[in-house]
Amino acid sequence: MLPTRLLATRTYSTASNRFRVVEVGARDGLQAEKKFVPTEVKVELIDRLSACGFSTVETTSFVSPKWVPQMADHNEIVKKHKRFNGVSYPVLVPNAAGLKNALATGVVDEIAVFGAASDAFSLKNVNSNVEDSLKKLLEVTKIALDNKIRVRGYVSVVVGCPYSGDVKPEVVARVAETLLEAGCYEVSLGDTIGVGTVKSVGKMLDTVLKSVPANKLAVHFHDTYGQALANVLVSIEKGIRAADSSIAGLGGCPYAKGATGNLATEDLLYFLKGNGFETGVDLEKVVETAKWFNSAAGYDKWSRVGRAISNKMEAAQKC
Q: Which residues sit at the interface with ligand HMG, rule CB under 6 A?
A: 28, 31, 61-64, 66-68, 92, 94-95, 97-98, 101, 114, 125-127, 154, 156, 190, 192, 220, 253-255
Q: Residue 234: which residues within 8 A CB-CB, separation 6 or more? A: 198, 201, 202, 205
The site partner of 126 among ligand HMG, Mg ion, none (C-beta below 5 to 8 Å per kind) is ligand HMG
Q: Which residue type is seen at 131?
A: E
Q: Provide the minimum distance between the beta carbon of 276 and ligand HMG in the complex, in angstroms, as a whole number.
A: 28
Positive/negative CA dihedral, 96, 98, 99, 100: positive
Asked if 191 touches Mg ion (CB under 5 A), the answer is no
214 binds, among ligand HMG, Mg ion, none (CB under 5 to 8 A by kind): none
Indicate which of Mg ion, ligand HMG, none lies near residue 31 (CB less than 5 to 8 Å, by partner kind): ligand HMG
267 binding Mg ion? (CB under 5 A): no
Which has the closest alpha carbon to 291: 277, 305, 302, 279? 302
CB of 50 or CB of 245, closer to ligand HMG: 245
Which of ligand HMG, Mg ion, none does residue 61 bind to, with CB < 5 to 8 Å depending on kind? ligand HMG
For helices 265-274 and 304-318, give the axis angle rounded to 10 degrees.
80
Q: How far is CA 128 from CA 46, 247, 254, 294, in A?
A: 31, 31, 16, 36
Asked if 223 is part of the footprint of Mg ion (rule: CB under 5 A), the reply reads: no
Q: Which residue is nearest to Mg ion (CB)?
A: 28
Closer of 23 and 28 to Mg ion (Cβ): 28
Site for Mg ion in 15-44 (CB under 5 A): 28
Examine the residue annotation and report whether 161 is marked as an active-site residue of this protein: no
68 exposure class (CB count in 10 Å sphere: 0-12, 13-18, 19+): buried
Residue with Cβ nearer ligand HMG (95 or 289): 95
Shortest distance (Å) from residue 251 CB to Mg ion: 6
Distance spanning both ends of the chain, measured CA to CA: 55
- Of 154 and 277, nearer to ligand HMG (C-beta) is 154
Query: By CB under 5 A, is residue 109 in contact with Mg ion?
Result: no
| Of 214, 170, 168, 223, nearest in space to 192 by CA | 223
Nearer to ligand HMG, 31 or 50 (CB): 31
In angstroms, the CA 316 to CA 237 distance is 36
Identify what 7 binds: Mg ion, ligand HMG, none; CB under 5 to 8 Å per kind: none
* Per annotation, catalytic residue among 52, 161, 184, 253: 253
According to DSSP, residue 50 is labeled: H
Residue nearest to ligand HMG (CB): 190
CA distance 135 to 121: 16
What's the rounded Cα separation, in Å, for the pair 188 and 208? 12
Q: Which residues contact Mg ion (rule: CB under 5 A)?
A: 28
Residues involved in catalysis:
253
